[in-house]
């Protein structure tokens, strides 16, 4: 390890049938980096015609989610009535607050034709003052996000501030998330943040002579001016921000400051299923009839319905 690197995290990989997911956070030695409590790298994977991703309806509390696509497309549906397709360069920012339900699926056109998918999925823990706020959803088109130009490395500021730029994505605490791609060998300075990680999506980065290879995360030391050398063609993501305002507990898709709140969320999900999602704490997105049970609960039958563009007349 070097003075600039606190920890190196190697991914834990899972095969989900046709594509892999590599998990970096939470990690046993590092549960979060700033507000980022969850960090997954999905793919890259080539989906043949007729195949797609189908993440059935599931609940969240206490966090905001963002999926950043490098390739492909995903349909987002949620219990607020939102239906929005996310494509590379844009941001779907879903704030769960006291509770929301959503699904993520391959759009019909891509499912029929076959497609390539690669994404980073992150969760950011809401400050305790906002943990029980009403859920919300915001879509930010690619053309409203600031473009970062560091000479031979260029990219996009997803949220927060860096390099004198500020993203329009709203979050009630200090945050920084951005992606950069190096056109050729180059050296950049890491953005300033109280807590920050560097993730190598592809290629390799070097910090103080230590090589950080593909699908590896480096937790950086809280010091300004850290130099990062990027090999030609390397793609990275920085993520971090202010320290959390207290410990967070994670259980399945729930994030909370207390285990009692996690237990309530689990009970609310079971009760919502039992109540058919009618007048319950959690409700289904329109057109969704499938859902994911709590871990360990029985898998329900008849969960193979895939909504299409004709199930509901939603704005997309």
Show pLDDT as tens, one digit a residue, over the chain (316 residues).
789 999 999 999 987 766 789 999 999 999 999 999 999 999 999 999 999 999 999 999 999 999 999 999 999 999 999 999 999 999 999 999 999 999 999 999 999 999 999 999 999 999 999 999 999 999 999 999 999 999 999 999 999 999 999 999 999 999 999 999 999 999 999 999 999 999 999 999 999 999 999 999 999 999 999 999 999 999 999 999 999 999 999 999 999 999 999 999 999 999 999 999 999 999 999 999 999 999 999 988 878 766 654 333 323 2
Question: Around Cβ 172, how many Cβ atoms within 10 Å?
Answer: 13
Task: Report the run of H or E that residue 259 belongs to, with start and end.
Answer: helix 259-274
Peptide bond into 244 cis (omega under 30): no
Superfamily of domain 5-241 in CATH is Jelly Rolls (2.60.120.10)
Q: How far is CA 228 from CA 88, 153, 179, 220, in A?
A: 25, 11, 14, 11
- Angle value at C-alpha 33, between 30 and 34, nearest 5 degrees: 140
Q: How far is CA 75 from CA 52, 218, 303, in A?
A: 11, 31, 18
The span from the CA of 254 to the CA of 262, in Å, is 6
The CA R_g of the chain, rounded to the nearest whole Å, is 19
């Amino acid at each position: 390890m070097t003075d600039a690197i606190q920890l190196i995290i190697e991914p834990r990989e899972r095969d989900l049938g046709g594509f892999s997911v590599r998990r970096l956070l939470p990690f046993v030695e590092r549960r979060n980096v700033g507000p980022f409590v969850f960090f997954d790298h999905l793919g890259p994977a080539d989906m043949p015609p007729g195949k797609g991703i189908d993440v059935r309806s599931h609940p969240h509390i206490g966090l905001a989610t963002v999926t950043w696509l490098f390739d492909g497309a995903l349909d987002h549906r949620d219990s607020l009535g939102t239906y929005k397709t996310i494509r590379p360069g844009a941001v779907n920012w879903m704030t769960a607050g006291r509770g929301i339900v959503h699904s993520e699926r391959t759009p019909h056109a891509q499912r029929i034709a076959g497609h390539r998918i690669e994404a980073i999925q992150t969760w950011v823990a809401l400050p305790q003052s906002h943990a029980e706020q009403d859920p919300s959803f915001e879509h930010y088109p690619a053309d409203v996000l600031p473009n970062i130009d560091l000479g031979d490395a260029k990219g996009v500021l997803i949220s927060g501030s860096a390099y004198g730029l500020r993203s329009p994505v709203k979050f009630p605490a200090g945050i920084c998330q951005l992606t950069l791609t190096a056109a050729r060998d180059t050296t950049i300075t890491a953005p300033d943040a109280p807590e920050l990680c560097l993730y190598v999506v592809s290629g390799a980065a070097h910090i103080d002579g230590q090589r950080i290879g593909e699908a590896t995360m480096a937790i950086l030391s809280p010091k300004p001016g850290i130099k990062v050398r990027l090999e030609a063609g390397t793609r990275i993501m920085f993520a971090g921000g202010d320290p959390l305002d207290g410990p967070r507990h994670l259980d399945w898709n729930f994030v909370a400051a207390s285990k009692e709140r996690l237990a309530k969320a689990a009970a609310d999900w079971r009760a919502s299923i039992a109540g058919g999602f009618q007048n319950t704490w959690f409700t289904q997105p329109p057109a969704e009839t499938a859902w994911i049970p709590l871990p360990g609960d029985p898998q329900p039958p008849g969960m193979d319905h895939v909504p299409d563009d004709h199930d509901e007349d939603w704005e997309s």
